[in-house]
Amino acid sequence: MPRVFNFSAGPATLPEAVLRQAQAEMLDWHGLGASIVEISHRSAEFMQVAERADADLRTLLAIPDSHVVLYLSGGATTQQALIALNFAGAGQTADYVVSGHWSKTAIRQAAPYVAVNIAASSEEDRFRSLPGREGWRLSPDAAYVHITANETIHGVEYRTTPEVGDVPLFADFSSSIASEPLDVAKYGLIYAGAQKNLGPVGISVVIVRRELLERSGQHRAEIFDYRAHAARDSMLNTPPTWNWYMLGLTVRWMLEQGGVDEFARRNAEKAALLYATIDAGDGFYRNEIEASVRSRMNVPFFLHDPALDAMFLAESRAAGLMALKGHKAVGGMRASLYNAMPVEGVRALVDFMRDFQARHG
């Protein structure tokens, strides 16, 4: 059957060109006679894959030499605990800004290891806005300040980098990395699960300022120590080699498509098209997020009558539009517009939305 337009929030749609290349190379990688997933991570062949992926990611994100890139097993939630262990002393304060579900998750993972200061929160507003920087209550001796750059569930996104003084800024970019130009130098640490814009689930990217690796942090096993992973080029243990290979293919595809500047243009076009359709629906559809912080990556929306939700989902799926159901914490609908979602997919979605409204409005 033909491929559908997959609006899943993650694991998310991957570029068809990447999937086809992986399919073609699955049994025999470059004449090796074996799959890339079957060979040693320390072999010359896999080292070639890893080095190319790293060089391409550095080019794509314009990562300065001041920052190390780690490729680690697991997802962003794992990093949320490791960040506290690696960069804060036992009981030291860390500042967290709460803007949605994943901000709160980050706090839960860090709380056993740091004294969490909630510097600001938009929970009273049901996460329909971001806490204004002027109201943040930062700690003068904090180990770091943590933000979630884009909230996948609630659909809010930082459109500028907040200024936090001399304290390093840490950010979860899982659902918006590589979607537009990013000044990596402004951050002490950026982390991202790959399964939105960078590749498949099961591998995370951590971009950390080299000087921060000198912090002693807390007592921890070597496998939880970022310094040890950096010293071994992310091969302290056997890495998720297939995921790393797929990440490399995805990053190379993004470079071939024009890099983050081109994806910023496409993502702005996609988001504007969908939000305009929601806003023009005379109340049939609604998005409750403050316009200035609406996410370009994840667009939650609601129908005026929840009784229509099941019909909307069934009919959209029949029309080749997959995974539009909103997260259970919010309800309604959600369309995720990551880099691999083509503009044509969003056009198909808004055409369906207009037709559905005409038939059921």
| Residue spans per domain, the chain | 16-257, 258-360
**Amino acid of residue 102:** W
Strand segments, DSSP code E, in 164-212 are 169-172, 189-193, 203-209
Of 29, 56, 172, 244, the active-site residue reads 172
Distance CA 310, CA 331 (A): 12
Q: Say whether 65 is catalytic.
A: no
pLDDT of residue 1: 65
> Which residues 6+ apart lie within 8 Å of 348 measured at CB?
5, 319, 320, 321
Name residues of the chain where pLDDT drops below 70.
Answer: 1
pTM over 0.85: yes
Distance CA 292, CA 286 (A): 16
Q: Say whether 172 is catalytic.
A: yes
**Amino acid of residue 329:** A
Q: Do residues 216 and 89 make contact, with C-beta atoms less than 8 angstroms apart?
A: yes
Distance CA 90, CA 219 (A): 9
Of 196, 242, 244, 270, the active-site residue reads 196
Q: Say whether 102 is catalytic.
A: yes
Burial class (CB in 10 A: 0-12, 13-18, 19+), 152: buried
pLDDT of residue 269: 98
| Fold annotation for 258-360 | Aspartate Aminotransferase, domain 1 (3.90.1150)
pLDDT of residue 217: 96
pLDDT of residue 2: 82
Q: What angle do CA 86, 90, 92 make, to 5 degrees?
A: 95
Closest CA relative to residue 193, chosen from 79, 337, 61, 67: 79
Tell me the per-residue pLDDT of 237-263, one tens digit each, with 9 for 90 and over. Answer: 999 999 999 999 999 999 999 999 999
Of 29, 102, 244, 253, the active-site residue reads 102
Closest CA relative to residue 151, chosen from 125, 116, 181: 125
Q: Do residues 207 and 90 make contact, with C-beta atoms less than 8 angstroms apart?
A: no
Distance CA 202, CA 154 (A): 23
Report the top-level CATH class of 16-257. Answer: alpha beta
Give 150's DSSP letter: B
Q: Which residue has the tokens 């797929």?
A: 246
